[in-house]
Structure 1
């Protein structure tokens, strides 16, 4: 996915911090992470031969120390002009267990893209005691309709959704709006069973979606704003 404006802010913050690191071999990678309130937390790695923490893991600790409970997007960048770099396997597993819906910025041939952490760990192990609260994203244009109860269903493709409590986040909202909610049910439907207007909208949002796509019809409700 192409980064949204808020996600580019995270990437820019990581790259700017990386450029400031100089030639200290103990600190060679910078990371930045955004929480649901729109705050960006930054950190650097601490290299040590016994396995010093990566910048991404230090950033999780910095965010937690600042009171952040849910994180939306993370990016890491290397020193000495290396630019955006993907997380190592250990960081991917920690991110998945603690923040199962976080988006990770990674480099591609066409520039930075963001991917759900689960896409970076197919067939992964799930830590059974992990208690990361789920995040469910909406386009910011649906903010009023979701909060008023006018919109209570949505259709998603290739997005893992499970019933239960979740924080509803409105992407790129100028006030970083989010509310507590609940996914009531997730039912399967098919693209070919939808009307033409729905199909056009979904194809615009999911350009890689095949004609025989199986979709998730998600029912939800808002619990309380915060």
Structure 2
């Protein structure tokens, strides 16, 4: 798998966790640091509290710190160990909590090719789901789409292996410091096979080439097979002055 280049915002989170971890040492009760970014671009930090009764991991401490600061959904989280251990992946309990409370968060993990981020659902497949958490959902867009989404010119998107639920959602424009988010609603999700996708199903403009559209999807999703299932997601958005 070719490593995906990280956004500047994701690097900020990793650097914050590693910087805090570098300052730990000498106290065996605090050995891991975590950092998380919310949809407003704020970075929250915390350290673990080791105790024989089951003290909280750094990731759980940072969730509490973010909630104390009034943060909404978290979009990226990273943890790092003391003593120069670098990034550490979350334990099973933390993965379950993150999935339930922040189901769209990206988690930084160490790989042979350097730090990468993974959707938390990829770290905990076939998991139990806790619907009572009532977590607010986040839908990510490239920042170049802000104007079209805000003006209502873009009202659909096609995704692969990116579960999006019908209902209210926060639309996040990645690495867009000027606009960041819009409140919206996902109104429908239709699944189609890519090689059978029509221009009408993809909600293309009149005269647009569905073959060129498929090529664009394969460029965005390297290795996407011709018979892959894709989701056509339709949505509405509130007025731009509702953006945060």
Does TM-score exceed 0.5, indicating one fold? yes
Q: 5+ residue gaps in structure 2?
A: 198-209
CA distance in 2, matches of 1:176, 1:66: 21
List aligned pairs for 1:58-69, cutoff 5 A. Answer: 58-69=61-72
1:204 to 216, 219, 228: 219
Cα distance change on mapping 1:124 and 1:214 into 2, 3 Å: same
CA distance in 1, matches of 2:122, 2:5: 15
* RMSD of aligned alpha carbons: 1.1
Give how far 1:24 is off.
1.3
More strand by share: 1
Q: Normalising to structure 1: TM-score of the pair?
A: 0.97
Q: Deviations over 1:182-206 (max 9, x none)?
A: 0000001222134222122211211
2:31 maps to what in 1? 28
Q: Deviations over 1:51-101 (max 9, x none)?
A: 000000000000111110211100000000100010000000000110110
1:153 maps to what in 2? 156
1:116 to 105, 110, 119: 119
Q: Which has the larger radius of gyration?
A: 2
1:89 maps to what in 2? 92
- After TM superposition, which residue ranges in structure 1, 4 or more long, deviate above 3 angstroms? none
1:181 to 149, 171, 184: 184
Give how far 1:176 is off.
5.5
1:72 maps to what in 2? 75
> How many equivalent residue pairs?
226
Q: Normalising to structure 2: TM-score of the pair?
A: 0.90
2:229 maps to what in 1? 214
